[in-house]
Amino acid sequence: MQSRIYKRKIVEQILPFLDTDNILVLHGARQVGKSSILKYLQSELTSKNKPNHYLDLEDSRNLDLLNGGVDTFLQYLGEIGFNLNQIQESNQRLFVFIDEIQYLQNPSSFLKLIVDHHKYIQLIVSGSSSFAIKSKFKDSLVGRTIEFVIYNLSFEEYLEFKGFKYDLENLKTSKSIDEVVQKYYDYIYYGGYPKVVLTDDIKIKERILLQIVDTYVRRDIMEFTRIGEISKFNNLIKLLAEQSGQLLNVSKLASLCSLSRQTVENYLFLLENTYIIKLLSPFSSSRGVEISKASKIYFYDTGLMQAIRYKSLSKNVLGNSFETSIFAELVKKYDIAEINFWRTKSENEVDFILNNKEVLPLEVKLNFKQFRLGSMQEFLKKYTLQNYRVVGLEGGEIVNGIYPWQI
């Protein structure tokens, strides 16, 4: 029996580009659901009787086929029943989904030949990291691709996957709010990887997350770069998991891990480009006044962060776990370039600054009553603003207080 394929929120962003002359590229961390999105899109096309085919390059037979070149690929499509001449002459498209495109020896050449000379074939491809894709995609594909970053589940998607039906925009009663707050705690504990969400067994959740870490190190990192000492790399990841939500101090990390500063910077680059962490830049119109170039470190998934930190899943929500979960929600709703933090040399700090249609500062407090106006007031005064929000879960209503699902 085929398992249910859920419709992710990002599908609505992808659908308008499905029938274009561009290659659609989906990339993100392992196990965030890229393959399921491809299969959902395929099922949509099948329901509309549009010709399509799916290839997973983790299958060595499919990899050998595409490494054989475009002519071999076109021959294969004919052999499995697609009349390419008829499709071309009738102004139709054949939609081809290619999963794990980074395994191809020379994906740029293959994709360029298809998009330039066989426009009746619409390619939708996925890759497990931007690093893997960027290291193999060449300048020849500039202007030929439209990229979508796939993250783990948002809280709204988490509720849907768990079968909970709440109208998050219209929660009024304290009972329903309390119920959703408790479910948000579960979302913090376990994170948003689809397979983790879809199992109720805590030990299985832990095993899945630890396997993601193991697979990530063994495949994404080891296949695309050389790491001298895995133990030191693992120590670095653990330290970063402990520091999610804090200012990054590369020199201190290098000292604690017995690594050179350059090596730590290289590892941070890899971790960022494989969607494990994000280095968040400060918001400032005057870098000389506010803290110089220090970034804040965030994990994209709180469950993975806890699995790395504790080798298990804890039901203790520390401040950095909640703040990390808010970061993970923000990146799914806003462009990452629109998200910053603010901190001055005198240590006034605001957790997040959204620079979208307007500048909106956000302070994160697990309990609303922990909020103090001081730093927020300094920011508002400096940038002549009035509007701000406090994101929390407990402590009752306060002025400008919102819950995570109201961001």
DSSP string, 364-392: E-SBGGG--SHHHHHHHHHTT----EEE-
Are 259 and 135 in the same domain? no
> Minimal CA–CA distance to 230: which of 244, 242, 213, 246?
213
388 with 354, same domain?
yes
Pick from 290, 285, 234: which is nearest to 258 by CA?
Answer: 234
* Mean per-residue pLDDT over the chain, rounded: 90
Q: Domain for residue 104, yes or no?
A: yes
Per-residue confidence (pLDDT) for residue 1, from 0 to 100:
40
Residues 27 and 107 in one domain: yes
Domain count, the chain: 2
Q: Is residue 4 in a domain?
A: no
Summarize pLDDT for 13-37 with one digit per residue, the tens.
999 999 888 999 998 888 999 999 9
| pTM over the 0.85 mark | yes
Inside any domain, residue 304:
yes
**Is 191 a domain residue?**
yes
**Quick one: pLDDT at residue 312?**
78
402 inside domain:
yes
Q: Which domain CATH number covers 335? A: 1.10.10.10
In a domain, 380, yes or no: yes
Percent of the chain with pLDDT over 70: 91
Are 241 and 340 contained in the same domain?
yes
Which of 106, 122, 149 marks a domain boundary? 149
Question: Are both 53 and 162 inside the same structural domain?
Answer: no
* pLDDT (0 to 100) of residue 29: 87
The domain spanning residue 37 has which CATH number?
3.40.50.300
pLDDT given for residue 270 in this prediction: 85
pLDDT at 87 over 50: yes
Average pLDDT, integer, range 63-73:
97
Residue pLDDT, tens place only, 128-154: 766 556 666 666 677 788 999 999 999
In a domain, 330, yes or no: yes
**pLDDT exceeds 90 at position 310:** no
Q: What is the pLDDT of residues 243-265, one digit of tens each?
A: 999 999 999 999 999 999 999 99
Q: Which domain holds residue 208?
A: 155-406
Q: What's residue 129's pLDDT? A: 63
Pair type for strands 121-127 and 23-27: parallel
Residue where one domain finishes, among candidates 98, 123, 149: 149
